[in-house]
Structure 1
């Protein structure tokens, strides 16, 4: 099995799965005289592991509609560290800036008011960088849209589900995560420190539609370079 493949049911079956004889992996269809694997209870990793075995290619299965998609079995690149490092640096900058402001307002009463006023203005500036991953069932979700609520500013995730928002954010900003067929998710920047607490691996729920039938497994081949 290649690192990348897609699953599809080209001709859905009209049999009633609830009337099948239960088996350890699903149910036995008397019409087809074969076992129908119930993938609706499997995770993406379990589905990948199942189809890595070539003997499982001639399979009848029962799927949620969102499971009939492209699968990437390549090991994930450890880019997540860079996201947390970036967020950590952003938070460290905010802490350092706040400390510097605190040191500067040890002057006369009038200067204290002026400095405090400047600090209040400064901490609401757009100085929070947001970047990370959007996933579905622990797998990258390429093409997901992230935009700033109330604006047309946004970006889409790349093939690895990675994104870096094109503008810095401030307290009160709302990021909206959306994908076709999934429920949109919102993340609010509550304060200067919330960037380090944003959970970007959002489990985006989809409308459920059960399909059953013979599984078409299409492997993705890459062309070899000619010498």
Structure 2
């Protein structure tokens, strides 16, 4: 059965979270003498798991505004459909292999094509790009960095540091993105023609962050639904 509930904060807290004493899950508010759990970096599934396991206790939390609202436990995938999908994928790969074998070029054509590509390729100076990504509070872990127009990318580590996985050239564009932050596009330059260049980036938040005691609302169940379910189980 799906688990469904709605999270709300009816009375937002006016205390500054940055002034709280740090705890394992967030910070301790000296005003109300409670731990405020910082949910801003949690995924939807992590939030669902937490409130399913702690539904009987009061929770003070800090959320991005988009995290407040309704949550529904995702349904488990159908195993039969899963195995059907594998069968279709295997059949597709088999057909693809046959098709490629029929269209394969002759050795002479392959050599000629390689020579043509080498002739048209001009050598370009490439270099390593690395640095630190921060926000107003300091180094920011988990920032996504990818090369525009490709799927090549990386993420910042716990200290906000990154090193792009492949060497770049002048004019390449890196996109820095993080949930709740304005993305940044930066054109790569290498004015000093160094083998490694440092590119430190600061991201700015655009989300409203709300903290306070969490109100959990679950769907109303009528007595009629209760007796209907009970009668069905007794049968």
Give the TM interval when normalised to the shorter protein. 0.3 to 0.5
Greater C-alpha Rg: 2
TM-score where L is the length of structure 2:
0.41
TM-score where L is the length of structure 1:
0.42
